[in-house]
Amino acid sequence: MSKYRADSEKVSPRVMIWAHALWEMKLLLRNGEQLLLMIIIPVGLLLALSMHHVQSLKPGQSSVDAAYPVVVSVSIIATCFTSLAIATGFERRAGALTFLATTPLSRARLIAGKILATAMIAALAIFIVSIIAVFLGWRASVWTLAGFGIAALAAIAFGAWALALSGAMRAEGVLAVSNAVFLVLIMFGGVIIPASSLPGGQALQLLPSAALASGLRATLDSHGTPGWAPLILAAWGLTGFLVARRTFKWQ
């Protein structure tokens, strides 16, 4: 046992986090329900919204231009928050995380590995959605990379808060709360309807969902600057990671 611990101490934290992230990603890719939520539903949503004529479109804006940022936002929140929170909550209840607690994988490394794995799955989903959007008429610009950077910050932020939630509540509570938060953020958090068009829009713009959606609309649709969205998402991500590191329980 002492030899195993001594050998494990020679492995860098970065290698541990990466190895755990790859393991988590393989588990997610084998889960049909997770793939339905992460990939198939966003693709279906993009097709549905792109084929629906919207009266509020700006001059020269196509349906796919308006739909693409919304679908990417929904995909990130569903994957990196709702799906991750529920999966981790039930892993805790089943005792799977208790076994990981016996390994050199610390709480912070577990959190980082899970966030990284979920972010990679979200990147895969966004890649598939982007390919379909291109076929439907969406075109990238020099600001597209900035939009993908915002998506990465959002994935980290929502992943951190998913683990903070799943580590502090029972699995049944996580299931109910994460789904409720998802619906509230999608409907009233600036995703489907821009925060500026909702009552209390200035305050709503500080939500991670509103920052994500507004940043993506600015970069992926209007081809402009993301404004304050990166700073807001970075602040949510850092705060979420600190809360998760403090409150996350193995069982």
Report the range out of 19-23, 47-51, 66-70, 213-217 with the highest average pLDDT: 213-217
Average pLDDT over every residue of 235-239:
95
Q: Global pTM?
A: 0.85
Across 44-70, average pLDDT: 70
Residues 6+ apart with CB under 8 A from 36: none
Percent of the chain residues past pLDDT 70, beyond the cut? 84
Higher pLDDT: 236 or 105? It is 236
Place 9 in a pLDDT band, splitting at 50, 70 and 90: low
Residue 222 has pLDDT above 80, yes or no: no
pLDDT at residue 60 greater than cutoff 60: no
pLDDT at 55: 44
Give the CA-trace dihedral at 12, 156, 183, 169, to 10 degrees: 40
Residue type (1 letter), 131: I
Most confidently modeled range among 15-29, 61-75, 111-125, 176-190? 176-190
> What ranges in the chain are assigned the alpha helix state H?
2-9, 13-29, 32-35, 41-50, 63-77, 84-94, 96-100, 107-136, 144-166, 171-188, 201-204, 208-216, 229-247
**Is 50 exceeded by the pLDDT of residue 172?**
yes
